[in-house]
Chains A and B, each alone.
Chain A
Amino acid sequence: MDIYRAIADPTRRAILDELVDRSGQTLFELCARLTMKHGINSSRQAISQHLDVLEAAGLVRTRREGRSKLHWFVGAPLKAIGERWPISTDDSISDPTEEDNQQ
């Protein structure tokens, strides 16, 4: 699973937003947050499948705490995006139209 497909879906991006807000959530907490804060009324099963996709892409990790399964956001795989298309630190050459004007 590549990260581009994983983050292409708005529900999966909302899941990551909520896991950034608080690490270590159960499926129940995530579903409550998605319903109440994002108006996403997908079934628990659908959210669970979205989590599987995110986990396969390395963006979510799970761990058991007590008898509950908790979910964490892992940002490291997103570095590949910045490495593939580096963000220029020099603004003057990041915009080709500006560059033309200067010369």
Chain B
Amino acid sequence: MRLNLTGVFVDDQQKALHFYTEILGFRIRHNIPLGEYAWITVVSEEAPEGTELLLEPDAHPAVPPFMKALVEDGIPANSFAVDDVAAEHERLVAKGVRFVQPPTDLGTVITAVFDDTCGNLIQIVEQKGQP
């Protein structure tokens, strides 16, 4: 058994596709039209054969209130690994991304949390090396 797919619910798939590719820098893996919605996944440029991120429509009525409640308390919908949180923070802020939590040293990890503009907060995490 392997983990090949994870996902985030998004309030607008095309807006999400723009944010996750043009702003974050992921690459489109699948973009298959399925009537009103599409099966859209992106992958990391650093691991194009790795886990896909599904940009899933928030069409089910239970989803928008769920997303809203997570954002209210600052809880990320997903978490991505980076080598350098400070550098990513700087790069994304320059592209207009809004962070609700700037880079924060939590001992073993450095984390930051930003708004994906599609109804989610996303956490980025850097594992600190051994001192």
A contact set with B: CB distance below 8 Å: 22, 25-29, 32-33, 36-37, 44, 48, 65-70
Question: Nearest-CB distance from A53 to chain B (Å)?
Answer: 17
Task: Contact check, B106 vs A37: say whether CB atoms are below 8 A apart.
Answer: yes
Provide the bound-state CA to CA distance between A65 and B99, in Å. 11
Task: Contact check, A28 vs B68: say whether CB atoms are below 8 A apart.
Answer: no
Partner pick for B107 among A25, A26, A29, A37, CB 8 A cutoff: A37
B89-131 interface with A by 8 A CB criterion: 98, 100-102, 104, 106-109, 111, 113, 115, 121
How big is the B interface, by class? 20 to 34
Task: Contact check, B106 vs A36: say whether CB atoms are below 8 A apart.
Answer: yes
Contact residues in B for A36 (Cβ distance below 8 Å): 106-109
Task: Contact check, A28 vs B74: say whether CB atoms are below 8 A apart.
Answer: yes
Known A26-B74, A29-B74; contact A68-B106, beta-carbon cutoff 8 A: no
Residue of B whose beta carbon sits closest to that of A26: B74
Provide the bound-state CA to CA distance between A33 and B101, in Å. 12
Contact residues in A for B113 (Cβ distance below 8 Å): 26, 28-29
Partner pick for A33 among B72, B73, B75, B104, CB 8 A cutoff: B104
Contact residues in A for B121 (Cβ distance below 8 Å): 28, 68
Known A65-B100, A67-B68, A68-B121; contact A28-B75, beta-carbon cutoff 8 A: yes
Q: Which of B72, B107, B111, B115 has the most CB of A within 10 A?
A: B72
Residue of A whose beta carbon sits closest to that of B109: A36
B32-89 interface with A by 8 A CB criterion: 68, 71-76
Residue of B whose beta carbon sits closest to that of A32: B106
Contact residues in A for B98 (Cβ distance below 8 Å): 66
Question: Nearest-CB distance from A39 to chain B (Å)?
Answer: 10
Task: Contact check, B72 vs A25: say whether CB atoms are below 8 A apart.
Answer: no
Provide the bound-state CA to CA distance between A32 and B108, in Å. 12
